[in-house]
Amino acid sequence: MNILGIESSCDETASAVYTDKGLQSNVIASQTVHEQYGGVVPELASRAHHKTIWSTVQQSLEEAGTSLDKIDAVAVTQGPGLMGSLLVGLCFAKGLCLSRDIPIIGVNHMDAHIYANFIEGQPEYPFVSLTVSGGHTQLVYVESPFEHTLLGQTRDDAAGEAFDKIGKILGLPYPAGPEIDERSKKGDPQFHDFPQAMLDNDFEFSFSGLKTSVMYYLEDKEDPEAFLAEHLNDICASVARAITEVLIKKLRNAVVHTGVQTITLAGGVSANSMLRQKAKALARQKDLQLFIPHIAYCTDNAAMIAITGHMMARRGLFSDMNLKPFASLKQAVS
């Protein structure tokens, strides 16, 4: 079974090939046009996908040493994501499938983040996945392949969204998550005790108040610019501590609640070094198996779409040509 995976949910145009022998290629075309706006501009994102999707697919096939003639099915991100971006990838995938008379597989982007852990590992079921990205923060109980129970999620901002919004307040370039992570390594996490919300709720998250707290904290200084210039690394470390401690506390709650022996991290924020360190510490404390994807498979990529498609194809979970994109998880059909 040779699967071509296509990802275009936001601002990364990606294509990958996954076969019975494993991942054969993973190509990502990143968009830089959004940096000047401090966030992703949907219309510009969809236009950029139009320009790069065919060349990205071609490159993934070449790197895999294969061709469209040897592809058995196309797996494509169906949602959630930006509607315009999703439509580019979905329409392109439908065109390929119709021209080659091969099946299509609509993939839930959030499911794919979870199954990215299977690219290089084999987590044992059941397990709990902490899925943290720019758009979502979730705790998911995975009983068996594609049998999921949502334990809890964010009530407002996602963890990655909080990093980016706080980064904008701090004057950091978009996306701010990686920059905050690097600066945190040089700062003092105990410099300031930023609030940790909803600790009395086992599985729900809230991060919108954190960015407000950072803003008021800086505004209260006599010379905010000078203070920020002197203590930027410390503030980044303190922000990272506030976010990651909440994430790990909730993950610990989920482990106790479900009794699982395996936990996974998933999504772009799982690349955060402080979160990884704390997850490893939790695994040691609770004698758990921990799986974290390689950095390349944490942020949006097509490898996770391709392996999820491969797992779905083995179970006969194909879609039809009427499948439509969904912008949010509330609109998901599965």
Label residue 191 exposed, middle or buried (CB < 10 Å: 0-12, 13-18, 19+): middle
> Does the annotation place 32 within a ligand binding site?
no
Find out whether 244 is annotated in a ligand binding site: no
Known binder of ligand: residue 156? no
133 appears as a binding residue in the annotation: yes
Q: Is 132 annotated as a binding residue?
A: yes
Q: Which residues pair with 29 in a beta bridge?
A: 13
Q: Has 136 been labeled as part of a binding site?
A: no
What percent of the residues of the chain are helix, what percent strand, and what percent coil, each to the nearest 5?
Answer: 50, 20, 35
Q: 253 among the known binding-site residues?
A: no
- Torsions phi, psi of 228, nearest 5? -65, -40
Query: Taking phi first (over 0 means left), then psi (-120 to 50 degrees means alpha), and beta for anything else, what does residue 86 get?
Result: alpha
- Please state, in angstroms and rounded to a whole number, the distance separating the CA atoms of residues 15 and 13: 7
Q: Is 301 annotated as a binding residue?
A: no
Is 131 labelled as part of a ligand binding site? yes
Q: Is 164 annotated as a binding residue?
A: yes
Task: Find out whether 8 and 79 touch, Cβ atoms under 8 Å.
Answer: no
What whole-number distance in Å separates Cα of residue 76 and Cα of residue 21?
20
Rounded CA-CA distance 319/326 in Å is 14
30 labelled as ligand-binding?
Answer: no
Distance CA(242)–CA(207), nearest Å, equals: 10
Q: Is 109 annotated as a binding residue?
A: yes
Bind-site residues:
109, 113, 131-135, 164, 177, 181, 272, 300
Bind-site residues for substrate:
131-135, 164, 177, 181, 272
Bind-site residues for Fe cation:
109, 113, 300
